């Protein structure tokens, strides 16, 4: 798969049905994402930092490019950007044994034998290897975000591959768009730090050893390209200490006397704050203590986070999964959490390249996507995280009890292509169902009670109030946000939401509401089975008016309208597999889909079919489809795209939170089904021995 395809000039389609920016032949990617709920750093496939979100995950992208290069000061006197060296990116998985046992530093001799290294570990430390045969250098960049401080760190390890002593200059160029604009920014050197700031947004750069060269200057304004020109053309920086307006900055570190085979390290940290005093305080802490322990802190924190999987009933079966599937499962948990803000927002994707084709972004919180993330996290027993999302739901639900199309991470109403009243009804049914999933997986009555009045009751009352005489919900946009009508998937989420709310009300002693919502749920269920099932086709229809086959019809069994082995469900899912399977091995959304290319496979659609196969006992087929998704994750970092083209290459954004949430759910549902089979085989064996 080629993740480095050149972006092609495209046209914007008119707002006909459906409207899409053309994404054919345009694989977008952020193979490395690192965050902590307040900041999110995203790197492109060339190792350049492109997205820098602060103080919300997904809002206020101050990024444009932070990229590094190196100059040979003696031999060839050549300077080069590192991205020109075809980097290899991954999340670091091999560590010195002493680091895993408590050593603070990642430093160590690369010639250590295998006994001194532990491999196959999961971490949130990015590792990008740049190697140039012409310059005879190898540079490994280790990136990490502190789990609780607004600090990002980079370690550059420069290794001399030649037979001669070297005089080098490593440099890093910073070109931000503070508050998403180049206008009115300042870059200033203050003793041992460089600060970019605008209004109350401060980004500080410090290092160990201290930088010995620097320049602040004008960039992307009236023909001036930036301070990086100084070092690329002459190997030196001017030492200009301050610039304002449309600016960039470059820092340099001279590396002298680097012998053959020797390595030298430079650590640079970037701190974020809303004032000069706070960002300088963070720098002083880093300078004194935290810089040495930051990578160890990150490693321990995220390994401790993943250890919670041990409490799952399926934990004992994890070893039966293929190694690649296990890796993507753990990476999916980390990727889902990386897209979460501490205020409860869950953005669809951090990949900002999508804006070039639609003049908008995926960095919004869709209640639908957030609810799926909640369900996956609750299924994996991360109940505290789903509660943060319920807080966000409680703040954004309308007075009438429904959710709007999408929201910014700050909780404001986001941009939309839905006309008034801007309702997509599954985005109210699904959050309600997610709250019920939290209850049945956690049995935490405190959470159920806390959000019953602010989310469950108003949402259920509104859903009940809009049901038509037919028992179906009113027309609204479908889950794909393309067409307006009465859709099977949407009706299933309304059924599941009302039934879940009824169970919550019963738990809390609100019998009147429980009865009303239960009755409403049964009305919806009867309407789905009588009005959305087509006897002539022998399967469910996409909507009342549309007989098309659609992968979202999995909702009939997944939301409990009918059991997965019901013949009507089986024929529907068989039709999905027969009509929507693609040459690459995945599953498309529906026939004729044009978003991102003709009938691309979607990770979520493939996993929905895998879950059905697991539910009816076709475990081998289920695992094959899960493996297909794992095989089409980014080959070295494991992040999942939204779509996969027929040639196997990724399409649209990478990563997509929904893809990762669906992967977590599909794996756990497969393991649950496997556990039942293993348990049944054990009972049969023990029964035979007893006889």
Encode pLDDT of 447-495 as tens digits: 999 999 999 999 999 999 999 999 999 999 999 999 999 999 999 999 9
Contacts of 271 (CB under 8 A, 6+ apart): 149, 150, 151, 152, 203, 204, 206, 279, 282, 283, 286
Residue 565 has pLDDT above 80, yes or no: yes
Residue 315 lies in a domain: no
Residues 330 and 333: their CA atoms lie apart, in Å, by 5
Note the pLDDT tens digit of each residue in 152-179. 999 999 999 999 999 999 999 999 999 9
Question: What does the DSSP assignment read for 342-383?
Answer: TTS-B-S---GGGHHHHSS-S-SB-HHHHHHHHHHHHHTT-H
Please tell me the pTM assigned to this model.
0.93
Residues 230 and 212: their CA atoms lie apart, in Å, by 15
* Own/partner pairs, 673-682, CB within 8 angstroms, 24+ separation: 673/614, 673/615, 673/617, 673/619, 673/622, 674/314, 674/317, 674/320, 674/614, 674/619, 675/313, 675/314, 675/317, 677/617, 677/619, 678/317
φ, ψ of residue 72 to 5 degrees: the values are -90, 110
Residue 610 lies in a domain: yes
Task: Give the length of the chain.
Answer: 691
Q: 215-249: buried (b, 16+ CB within 10 Å) or exposed (e) per residue?
A: bbbbbeeeeeebbbbbbbeebebeebeebeebbbb
Note the pLDDT tens digit of each residue in 174-227. 999 999 999 999 999 999 999 999 999 999 999 999 999 999 999 999 988 999
Q: Which residue has the higher pLDDT, 297 or 12?
A: 297
Looking at the fold, whether 86 and 126 belong to one and the same domain comes out as yes
How many CA atoms, within 13 angstroms, populate the side-chain half-sphere of residue 358? 21
Residues 343 and 20: their CA atoms lie apart, in Å, by 31
689 pLDDT band (50/70/90 cuts)? Answer: low
Helices H / strands E in the chain, number of each: 18, 28
Residue 691 lies in a domain: no
Residues 35 and 56: their CA atoms lie apart, in Å, by 11
Looking at the fold, whether 132 and 192 belong to one and the same domain comes out as yes
Residue 21 has what pLDDT? 41
Residue 23 has what pLDDT? 41
Looking at the fold, whether 510 and 452 belong to one and the same domain comes out as yes
4 pLDDT band (50/70/90 cuts)? Answer: very low
Looking at the fold, whether 548 and 590 belong to one and the same domain comes out as no
Looking at the fold, whether 626 and 522 belong to one and the same domain comes out as no
Looking at the fold, whether 426 and 543 belong to one and the same domain comes out as yes
Structure tokens at 448: 């159920």
Looking at the fold, whether 54 and 138 belong to one and the same domain comes out as yes
Looking at the fold, whether 22 and 5 belong to one and the same domain comes out as yes
Residue 396 has pLDDT above 50, yes or no: yes
The CATH number of the domain holding residue 205 is 2.70.98.10
The residue out of 578, 600, 635 marking a domain boundary is 578
Residue 13 has what pLDDT? 27
Note the pLDDT tens digit of each residue in 420-450. 999 999 999 999 999 999 999 999 999 999 9
- Torsion on CA atoms 656, 662, 666, 672, rounded to nearest 10: 130
What average pLDDT does the structure give for the chain?
A: 92
Contacts of 681 (CB under 8 A, 6+ apart): none
Residue 431 has what pLDDT? 98
292 pLDDT band (50/70/90 cuts)? Answer: confident
Looking at the fold, whether 555 and 598 belong to one and the same domain comes out as no
Q: Are 178 and 198 in contact (CB under 8 A)?
A: yes
Residue 119 has what pLDDT? 84
Contacts of 32 (CB under 8 A, 6+ apart): 42, 43, 89, 91, 126, 128, 143, 637
Residue 108 has pLDDT above 80, yes or no: no
Residue 396 lies in a domain: no
Looking at the fold, whether 645 and 499 belong to one and the same domain comes out as no
Residue 688 has what pLDDT? 52
Contacts of 455 (CB under 8 A, 6+ apart): 390, 393, 394, 397, 431, 432, 435
User: How many other CB atoms are found less than 10 A from the CB of residue 485?
Assistant: 15
User: How many other CB atoms are found less than 10 A from the CB of residue 683?
Assistant: 10
Question: Diameter of the chain by CA atoms?
Answer: 90
- Give me the mean pLDDT over the 294-306 stretch: 94
Residue 412 lies in a domain: no
273, 360, 597, 611, 640 from 670: Cα distances, Å: 44, 36, 30, 7, 19
Q: Are strands 95-96 and 117-118 parallel, antiparallel or unpaired?
A: antiparallel
- Give me the mean pLDDT over the 594-610 stretch: 96
The residue out of 539, 562, 578 marking a domain boundary is 578
- Give me the mean pLDDT over the 120-132 stretch: 95
Reference 35, options 121, 143, 140, 122; nearest CA is 143
Q: Are 66 and 49 in contact (CB under 8 A)?
A: yes
Note the pLDDT tens digit of each residue in 640-685. 999 999 999 999 999 999 999 999 999 999 999 999 998 866 655 5
Domain with 658 in it? 1-30+581-679
Residue 300 lies in a domain: no
Q: What letter does residue 14 receive in the DSSP assignment?
A: P
Looking at the fold, whether 594 and 613 belong to one and the same domain comes out as yes
Residues 17 and 537: their CA atoms lie apart, in Å, by 25
Residues 178 and 60: their CA atoms lie apart, in Å, by 8
Residues 401 and 461: their CA atoms lie apart, in Å, by 7
The residue out of 254, 270, 285 marking a domain boundary is 285
22 pLDDT band (50/70/90 cuts)? Answer: very low
Q: Are 68 and 80 in contact (CB under 8 A)?
A: no
Residue 613 has what pLDDT? 98
Looking at the fold, whether 15 and 61 belong to one and the same domain comes out as no
| Number of independent structural domains in the chain | 3
Reference 244, options 225, 219, 270, 222; nearest CA is 219
Residue 356 lies in a domain: no
């Amino acid at each position: 798969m080629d993740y480095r395809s050149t972006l092609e000039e495209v046209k914007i389609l008119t707002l006909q049905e459906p409207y899409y920016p053309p994404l054919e032949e345009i694989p977008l990617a952020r193979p490395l994402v690192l965050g902590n709920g307040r900041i999110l750093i995203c790197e492109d496939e060339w190792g350049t930092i492109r997205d820098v979100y602060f103080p919300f995950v997904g809002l206020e992208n101050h990024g444009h490019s932070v990229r590094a290069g190196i100059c040979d000061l003696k031999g060839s006197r050549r300077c080069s950007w590192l991205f020109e060296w075809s980097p290899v990116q991954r999340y670091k998985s091999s560590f010195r044994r002493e680091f895993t046992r408590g050593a603070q530093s990642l430093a160590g001799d690369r010639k250590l034998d295998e006994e001194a290294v532990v491999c196959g570990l999961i971490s949130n430390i990015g590792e990008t290897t740049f190697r140039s045969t012409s310059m005879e250098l190898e540079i490994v960049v280790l990136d990490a975000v502190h789990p609780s401080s607004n600090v990002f760190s980079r370690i550059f390890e420069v290794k001399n591959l030649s037979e001669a002593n070297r005089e080098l200059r490593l440099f890093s160029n910073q070109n931000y768009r503070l508050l998403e604009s180049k206008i009115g920014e300042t870059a200033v050197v203050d003793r041992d730090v460089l600060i970019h700031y605008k209004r109350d947004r401060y980004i500080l750069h410090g290092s160990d050893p201290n930088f010995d060269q620097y320049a602040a200057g004008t960039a992307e304004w009236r023909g001036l390209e930036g301070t990086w020109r100084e070092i690329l053309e002459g190997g030196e920086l001017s030492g200009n200490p301050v610039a304002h307006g449309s600016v960039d900055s470059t820092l340099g570190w001279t590396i002298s006397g680097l012998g053959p085979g020797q390595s030298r390290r430079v650590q640079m940290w970037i701190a974020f704050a809303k004032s000069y005093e706070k960002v300088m305080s963070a720098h002083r802490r880093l300078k004194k203590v935290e810089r040495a322990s930051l990578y160890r802190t990150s490693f321990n924190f995220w390994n401790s986070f993943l250890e919670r999987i041990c409490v799952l009933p399926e934990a004992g079966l994890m070893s039966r999964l293929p190694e690649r599937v296990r890796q993507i499962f753990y990476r999916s948990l980390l990727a889902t959490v990386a897209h979460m803000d501490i205020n409860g927002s869950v953005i669809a994707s951090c990949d900002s390249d999508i804006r070039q084709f639609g003049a908008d972004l995926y960095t919004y919180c869709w209640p639908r996507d957030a609810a799926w993330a909640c369900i996956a996290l609750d299924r994996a027993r991360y109940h505290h995280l789903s509660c943060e999302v319920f807080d966000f739901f409680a703040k954004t639900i309308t007075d009438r009890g429904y959710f709007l199309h999408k929201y910014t991470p700050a909780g404001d109403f986001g941009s939309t292509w839905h006309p008034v009243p801007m309702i997509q009804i599954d985005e109210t049914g699904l959050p309600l169902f997610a709250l019920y999933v939290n209850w049945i997986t956690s049995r935490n009555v405190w959470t159920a009670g806390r959000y019953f009045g602010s989310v469950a009751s108003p949402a259920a009352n509104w859903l009940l109030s809009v049901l038509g005489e037919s028992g179906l919900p009113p027309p609204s946009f479908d889950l794909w946000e393309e067409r307006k009508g009465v859709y099977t998937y949407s009706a299933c989420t309304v059924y599941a939401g009302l039934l879940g709310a009824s169970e919550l009300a019963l738990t809390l002693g609100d019998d009147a509401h429980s009865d009303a919502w239960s009755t409403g749920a049964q009305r919806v269920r009867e309407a789905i089975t009588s009005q959305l099932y087509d006897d002539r086709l022998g399967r469910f229809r996409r909507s009342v008016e549309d007989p098309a086959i659609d992968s979202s019809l999995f909702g009939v069994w997944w939301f409990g309208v009918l059991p997965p082995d019901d013949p009507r469900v089986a024929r529907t899912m068989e039709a999905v597999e027969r009509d929507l399977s693609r040459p690459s091995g995945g599953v498309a959304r529906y026939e004729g889909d044009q978003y991102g290319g003709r009938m691309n496979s979607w990770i979520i659609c493939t996993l929905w079919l895998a879950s059905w196969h697991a539910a009816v006992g076709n475990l081998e087929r289920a695992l094959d489809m899960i493996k297909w998704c794992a095989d089409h994750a980014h080959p070295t970092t494991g992040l999942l795209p939204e779509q996969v083209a027929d040639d196997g290459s990724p399409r649209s954004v990478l990563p997509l939170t929904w893809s990762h949430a669906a992967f977590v759910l599909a794996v756990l549902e497969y393991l649950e089904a496997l556990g039942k089979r293993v348990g049944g085989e054990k009972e049969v064996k023990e029964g035979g021995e007893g006889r």
